[in-house]
Structure 1
């Protein structure tokens, strides 16, 4: 369960929105290494692996941790502490409400300020520190403490984090990952979703299409402004969902109270439900 990569899925938590080219979440934001985010990021704490590119401001109500070779085209604002690895580049200004731990050859074009201590050195990358410490706990048999560490790293308070897996790409045009994708409830997103499988929750508004290699599910009350397709998997569209495009897959299940404004194609079985499906009792 504690694999080498703790960020192995695109997870969009409940209530996530894209506002004026910013991704806004209530909880933390975890971005895997070598990912590209062509938007600004606003969340509680923001943690990015090595060589992550962010094309906008980063605003963190908690900590901000950027590993080596990260590039931010904008300002970085952290209400608490900030940790920057070596060769981080920020085109704007860095403002830190707490302590600042900064590595070698960091370039902040418009300067920085910190209310607490400023330590200039080469801090261990956040992900590296996490893996090293976790391995140590497992080696000495502290499985329970290791589980608590994973839970603390993945969540801060009650809000689930936004996680973008390694080498993912997020923009107004598309959210592209080579892993599964899970989208929570009450989200408003711009861009096509591309993943190995896609599970969309309830009452979302997605201005783009869904395309996966494996299964795709669209929850009740969700509106998809585009096609819903899969290469090898099944498609399920729940009651009250609206798809403003075509639906295609191996087996296709569309609830009678769902609305598909396009062609439905099934290479295997097609199940459009019956009126009895409305009330199983």
Structure 2
């Protein structure tokens, strides 16, 4: 596992993630940073959200679900394992928990709740805050190995796919994915909405029904399809072999590989390299 100072420092969408009928569906865990808005319903293995996250749909977690204080959910919360709810959470639907329920003060559940295991009313520790403060402390102390072990314990990639991570303060909806961070979108993904980030890497055979806009570089891997414009303020747009852009491209520099298709107008202020061969990462050869 590559070590980052903050696992929520980028929008990271693992391979095979799709949007199905207003649900964001991931094979692995879903991690949402504080003060974010997710208009989709969420389906994943374990679902963890920081403070003041607003979900516009339901949550379905095969494993555990942890929501920190002041989170709101517009529909049901269905949890196969244990649930941990902080103070002043609002759930506009029903809460169903297959395991134990650890619940804080002043939690409002419109349609009631049921749990198969123990029910404990207290204020659960905000795990997201604790883990990342501890991780930051380890890095400052130079304990890189210990920090990496902590990350591997949180997200064991050998036991399943890497987590879907949404950074702090992000807005995710059918209209747009807006984050002040880089975006790494895996292969075989199918997403709806315009993507607005610092930089974008779109994986092989993924399909975006919306435009891409970034401050820095945008890389579109082989077989990927973008149904919209591709725009960068000061970076390079790379369109790999067999990639398709059904829209205009506006950029500083453009690398367009053999068999890459752009069905629109190309505006580049700097160099335009056409007919190059590119590797899967988008680097010209």
Asked if these proteins are the same fold (TM beyond 0.5), I'd say yes
TM-score, scaled relative to structure 1: 0.93
Which moves more between the two structures, 246-255 or 42-51? 246-255
**TM superposition shift of 1:163:** 0.4
Q: How does 1:130-169 map to 2 (within 5 A)?
A: 130-134=131-135, 143-155=144-156, 157-169=159-171
Classify the secondary structure of the residue corresponding to 1:150: helix
**TM superposition shift of 1:205:** 1.2
Which moves more between the two structures, 265-274 or 213-222? 265-274
**TM superposition shift of 1:173:** 0.7
Task: Flag structure 2 segments of 5+ consecutive residues without an equivalent.
Answer: none
Q: Determine the C-alpha separation between the residues in 2 that align with 1:64 and 1:16.
A: 19
Q: Determine the C-alpha separation between the residues in 2 that align with 1:158 and 1:200.
A: 21
Q: Determine the C-alpha separation between the residues in 2 that align with 1:2 and 1:188.
A: 26
Q: How does 1:130-279 map to 2 (within 5 A)?
A: 130-134=131-135, 143-155=144-156, 157-273=159-275, 277=277
Classify the secondary structure of the residue corresponding to 2:275: coil
Specify the alignment match of 1:41 in structure 2: 42
Q: Is the 8 A contact 1:51 1:67 kept in 2?
A: yes
Question: Which string of whole-angstrom CA distances, capped at 9 and with x for unpartnered residues, describes residues 74-122 of structure 1?
Answer: 0001100000000010000001111111011100111111111111001
Question: Which string of whole-angstrom CA distances, capped at 9 and with x for unpartnered residues, describes residues 38-84 of structure 1?
Answer: 01000000000000000111000010000000000000011000000
Q: Determine the C-alpha separation between the residues in 1 that align with 2:139 and 2:12.
A: 26
Q: Is the 8 A contact 2:203 2:221 kept in 1?
A: yes
Q: Determine the C-alpha separation between the residues in 1 that align with 2:141 and 2:124.
A: 25
Q: How does 1:105-116 map to 2 (within 5 A)?
A: 105-116=106-117
Q: Is the 8 A contact 1:28 1:155 kept in 2?
A: no
Q: Determine the C-alpha separation between the residues in 2 that align with 1:278 and 1:108.
A: 53
Q: Determine the C-alpha separation between the residues in 1 that align with 2:230 and 2:220.
A: 9
**TM superposition shift of 1:132:** 4.7
Classify the secondary structure of the residue corresponding to 1:77: strand
Task: Flag structure 1 segments of 5+ consecutive residues without an equivalent.
Answer: none
Q: How does 1:44-63 map to 2 (within 5 A)?
A: 44-63=45-64
